[in-house]
Structure 1
Amino acid sequence: MRISRMVGYLLCLMIAFILLPLSSSGEAGHDDTIVYYIPVEQTVERGLEAFLKRGFETAKEQGADHIVLEIHTPGGAVDAANNIARLMSESDIPITAFVNRDAISAGAFIALNADDIVMTPSANMGAAGIIDGAGNAADQKAQSYWLNRMQVAAEQNGREPLYALAMADSSIDLPEYNAPEGTFLTLNAQDALEVGYAEAIAENRQELLTYLGIEDAIEVEMTVSLAEQIARFVTNPIVISVLITIGSLGLMIELFSPGFGVPGILGISSLLLFFFGHMIAGFAGMESILLFGLGIILICIEIFFSGFGIFALLGIGSIVTSFLLASYSTVYMVSSIAIAIVITGIVAIVMFRYFGNVGPWKKMVLQETFSIEEGYISNRSRDDLIGEIGESLTTLRPGGSALIKDEYLDVVTEGRYIEQGRKIKVVKATGSHIVVRELNSNH
C-alpha cells in the first residue's frame, strides 16, 4: 500500500509539472506588437526541439508578430538541430537569433536559419565541426552532409557561404579571422557584423527591439517548465543508458531482497522517469507504457507460475519494444539496452553466486536436498543379492521375473536365453538393475 501511494504521488507530481503555466511580462491588446522570447540554451537535443515546437505553436496561437531566439549553447545533436531548422523554416512569424553569449556548432547552424542575427558585444558564433559520439571527427559522409546544410543555411538568408563552410571545415584558410588552415572559424560580434553574419550588435533586449523598430512591443517570455527540464535531461543519450541500467538493476536486485525495498523503488522510479521524459518530449505514447506494463506482468507470471520460458520471452520482447517505441533514435536505444543487459547480467551472476538463497529469487531455485538418511531413495542398491540363488518365474528373453530370497524381482540375463523354472544366480546388481546367470551355465 505504501508503495502504491508513493507511485501515485509521483504520477500526480508529473502531471502538475506538465500543467505548469507559461510566464509572460505583459498582456497584449489587439493592436499591440507581440514579441516572443524563446531561450535556446544548454545542449541542442531532442528535448530542446520539443520545447521549441511548443514555443512556436504557442507564439502562433497568441498572435505573436516576432520571435526572438535567445541563443547560448555549446551545440549538440545534428538531427535535433536539423529538426529545429525545419521548424524555423515552416514558421510564418519573422525570427531573429539573438546570440547573447555563444552560438557554437549546432547553435551556429540554428542562428544561420533565422531571418536576422543580432549579437551582444561579447558573443561568439562558429566552431561547427561535426564529431561522432566518441568525440572523433565524423566520417566523410556525415561531414559532407553537414557542410551542405551549413552552406544552404547561409545562402537562404543571403549570406556568403564561405564563412559558414569555414565554421565546419578546418581545411579552409581564413587567417584574417583567426582561423588559419587546421582550425574552425569562430566569429566574434564585430567580425560577424563585418562579413554579414550579424545584422546588428545589441547590449540587451531593449537595444534589440530598437533595432527591430518595435520598442513598445509587448514582451512575452517562454519558459522551460520543470517537466520540460526533466524531459531535456532524460532524453540525453547518456542519461537514457543510465536510467535503463538503473531500472533493470533495481528490479533484478529486488529478486534477491526480502520484501520490496530501495532497489525496487529506484528501478521503478528510473523507468517511470524515462517514460515521463519521453512523453513530455513527444516521443512516447501510452502504448509504450502499456507494453512495458504488460512485459512486467508476463515476467512475473513466468517467475511465480512457470511457463517454460514462453512468458519470460514474451515479457522481455514487450519491454524492449516499449523502449524502442518511446525512443527518438533506434540506434541510441539499442545501444542503451545492450549496455543495460551487459551490466545487469554481470551483477546478476555476482548476486546469484553470493546471495542466491535470499529474497523472492529463492522461489525460483530448489533449496532442499533429499538424502538416504532422511528416507529419500531415488534408486535402491541391491548389492545384498549378489551370489544368491533363485528361480526364473518366466522365460528370460533376456528380461523377465524371478524369485530370489522370497522376493519377486525383475531381472535380466547376460544376454543368454533362460527358460522358465531354471535355477539362476545373481552375478551383478547395479541399483535396481539385477543381472542373473543360469546356475548350470558354464559362464
Structure 2
Amino acid sequence: MAAALAPLALAGAGLASASEAPAAKAAAAEGRVAVIRIDRTIETGLQRFLQRALAEAEASGAGTVVLVIDTLGGRVDAAAEIGEAIRESPLKTVAYVEGKAISAGSYIALNADEIYMNEGSTIGAAAVVDGAGERVQDSKIVSFWVEQMVSAAQRNGRNPDIARGMVDDTTKVELPEIGRVIEPGELITLSAKDAVAVGYAEGVVTSIDEVLRIAGDDAPIAIEPTLAEEAARFLTHPATTTVLFVLGIAGLLIELLVPGFGVPGIVGVVSFGLYFLGNYVAGFAGVEHLAMFIAGVLLLALELFIPSFGILGILGIASLIGGVILAAYDSGNAASSLGIASLVAAVIVAVFVRYFKHRGVWNKFILRDALRTEEGYVSHAPRSELLGRTGKAVTPLRPAGTAMFGEERIDIVTNGEFISAGAEVTVVQVDGGRVVVREVRTNQ
C-alpha cells in the first residue's frame, strides 16, 4: 500500500480545479447516455478500460455517463486514477449502485455528480487494507485516504463526516437524519434508504431502466471491454502474473541447463511473452522493457559457455529483473511475484535436473565416458590360456620379471616372494595382462 502513495497523490491534484465542474457538466448533459459497468474487482485493467470508455463516450456524442457499480473494492491506487478520470471528464456522471459500492467502490461513486441506489444496495466501509485483508495501521496512509474520500464527498455537497467515518472508525459520528449514532470501532455503511436520507444519494430506484429514464435516454450506448482489454486484465492480475513467472523461469532454466527437450523453452518464452503482452496492451510496458528482458536471457546463456567470472551472469540477471519489474504497473507487486515465482521455479528445476541430469549442459564440459571390458573395450590381449602352464624364469623376479613359456617370452610377477633366475615357475592367476606365478618346488 505504501508503494501506491505516489500514484495516489496524483489524484489529489485535480480536486481543486474540478470543484467547478458539476455546473459545467450539467450544462453539457444534453444528448445520448452511455452506460459503463464497474462490476468487478477494481484494478489497473479496469482503470484503463474506464479511461478508454469515458473517452469513447465523449467521442460518440454522449452527454451523460451512467456508471453501474457493483464491487467490493480493490486497489486504492487504481480507484484514485478512476476517480480522477471521472472528475476530469466533461460528461455528466451518474453512479448507479446496483449491488455494493464497498471500499474503493464507494470512492468511485462519490466522485460521480449524482448517485442513485438500487433497493437493497449499500455504500461505504472504505477502510484501507493490505493484500492479506488486514487493516492498514499506518497513520499517513489512512489520513491520506480519509482526505481523498472527504474531498470526493465535499465536491458534490455531501456530508464529509460520513465519508471520514467510512474510512476511519476512531471517531463518533451522529446521523440524526436516520436516528443513528456511529460509535468508535464501527465503519459507516449506508443502505439505499439511509443514503438518500443523509444526502449521499439522489434516490432509490428499482432498475437501471429507471436511472436511464431519469437521465433521459431509454436506448443508451453500452460500452463494453474489448477482448484485448479483458485479456490484459486477466494477464496483469497478480495471481496470473505469478503463475506466468513460475512457468517462464522454470521453462527457460530447464531449457538452458537440460537442453534438447524444446517444450520447456517454448513454455518459458510463451509465458513471458504473455506477461509482456498483457502489460503492453494495458499501457504499462514498452518495447524497451522487452528488449531488456531478451538481453538478460542472452547474457545468461552466454555465461554458460563463455568464462566471464560471473560478470555476464550478473548483468544478465540485472537486465532480466529490470525488464520484468519496469514493465509492470506496480513495481513492488511485480518484485514480490517474481521472488515467489523464483523460489517455486527453483524447486521445479531442481527436480527436473535430478531426473534428467544425464542430459545436462555440464556434461559438455566433463569427460564421463569410460572404456569398460564389459562393453568390449580391453587394454591388453587376454592371456587366460597361460593359467596353469609352467615355464622358466629368465630374470630374477623381485617380484616382477620375465619368464619363458615354450618359445614365448612373457612379463610376469609373483605374489611378493623373490625367485631367482632359472627357477621353474607356474602360472597361478591371470588378470587381464597381469600374469602371476609362483615357484615350482620339487620334493627332495
How far does the alpha carbon of each residue in 1:99-145 deviate from its partner, in whole angstroms, 9 at most, with x for none? 11111100000000110111111211111111112322112221111
Matched letter for residue 168 of structure 1: V
**Are 2:131 and 1:130 equivalent residues in the alignment?**
no
Structure 1 pair 239/179, CA: closer, same or farther in 2 (3 Å)? farther
The alpha-carbon deviation at position 49 of structure 1 amounts to 0.6
Q: Please name the residue that 2:100 is paired with.
A: 102
- Aligned residue in 2 for 1:154: 153
What is the one-letter code of the residue matched to 2:368?
Answer: E
Residue aligning to 1:297: 298
Deviation at 1:297, TM superposition (A): 2.5
Task: Give, as a single letter, the amino acid of the residue that structure 1 aligns with 2:44.
Answer: R
**CA distance in structure 2 between the partners assigned to 1:42 and 1:364 by the alignment:** 53
C-alpha contact 1:177 1:187 (8 A) present in aligned 2: no
Unaligned runs of 5+ in 1: 1-30, 376-443
The change in CA–CA distance for 1:65 and 1:303 in structure 2 (over 3 A counts) is same
Bigger mean CA deviation after superposition, 302-311 or 282-291: 302-311
- Where 2:260 maps in the other structure, the secondary structure is coil
1:259 matched to which residue of 2?
A: 260
Q: Which secondary structure state, in structure 2, belongs to the residue aligned with residue 187 of structure 1?
A: strand
Q: 1:187 aligns with which of 162, 187, 190?
A: 190
How far residue 58 of structure 1 moved from its aligned partner, in angstroms, is: 1.2
RMSD, matched Cα = 2.8
Determine the C-alpha separation between the residues in 2 that align with 1:149 and 1:363: 61
**1:366 maps to what in 2?**
366
Q: Is the 8 A contact 2:212 2:220 kept in 1?
A: no
CA distance in 2, matches of 1:215, 1:56: 17
Question: How far 1:308 moved relative to its partner?
Answer: 4.3
Alpha-carbon distance between aligned partners in 1 of 2:314 and 2:257, rounded to the nearest angstrom? 21
Contact 1:256–1:355 at 8 Å: present in 2 too? no
Residue identity over aligned pairs, in percent, reads: 39
CA distance 1:163–1:367, shift in 2 (3 Å): farther
1:209 partner amino acid: L
* Aligned counterparts of 1:134 and 1:365: Cα–Cα separation in 2: 48
Q: How far apart are 1:62 and its partner, in Å?
A: 1.9
> When the two structures are aligned, how many residues end up with a matched partner?
343
**Counterpart secondary structure, 1:56:** helix
Question: How far apart, CA to CA, are the structure 2 residues paired with 1:152 and 1:32?
Answer: 27
Give, in angstroms, the shift of residue 281 of structure 1.
1.0
Q: 1:310 aligns to what?
A: 311
* Alignment partner of 1:61 is 2:59: yes
TM superposition shift of 1:206: 2.3
Q: Distance in 2 between matches of 1:241 and 1:279?
A: 17
Q: Distance in 2 between matches of 1:115 and 1:150?
A: 14
Aligned residue type for 2:122:
N
By how many angstroms is 1:310 displaced? 3.3
SS at match of 1:328: coil
**Contact residue 32 and residue 217 of structure 2 kept, 8 A:** no
CA deviations 1:380-402 (Å, max 9, x no partner) are xxxxxxxxxxxxxxxxxxxxxxx
Measured in 2, the distance between the counterparts of 1:114 and 1:146 equals: 17
Contact 1:254/1:261 (8 A) holds in 2: yes
Under a length normalisation based on structure 1, what TM-score does the superposition of the two structures give?
A: 0.71
The residue number in structure 2 matching 1:34 is 32
Say if 1:32 and 1:363 are closer, same or farther in 2 by CA, change over 3 A: farther
Tell me which residue corresponds to 2:270.
Answer: 269
Structure 2: which 5+ runs fail to align?
A: 1-28, 379-444
Query: Retained in 2: the 8 A contact 1:52–1:84?
Result: yes
Distance 1:278 1:204 in 2: 36
1:352 positional shift? 4.1
Q: Which structure has the larger Rg? A: 2
C-alpha displacement of 1:151? 0.8
SS state at 1:65 partner? strand
Q: Is the 8 A contact 2:246 2:341 kept in 1?
A: yes
Q: Would you say the 8 A contact 2:128–2:135 is kept in 1?
A: yes
What is the CA deviation profile of residues 219-271 of structure 1, one whole-angstrom value per residue up to 9, with x for unaligned ones?
11111122211211222233322321221012223345553444333322221
Q: 1:333 to 1:160 in 2, by over 3 A?
A: same
Distance 2:154 2:365 in 1: 68
Relative distance call for 1:364 and 1:68 in structure 2 (3 A) is farther
Residue 95 of structure 1 deviates from its aligned partner by 0.7
User: 2:83 matched to which residue of 1?
Assistant: 85
2:99 match: secondary structure: strand
Map residues 39-438 of structure 1 onto 2, 5 A cutoff.
39-138=37-136, 139-173=138-172, 176-177=179-180, 180-212=183-215, 214-215=216-217, 218-255=219-256, 257=258, 259-359=260-360, 361-363=361-363, 366-368=366-368
Distance 1:367 1:169 in 2: 69
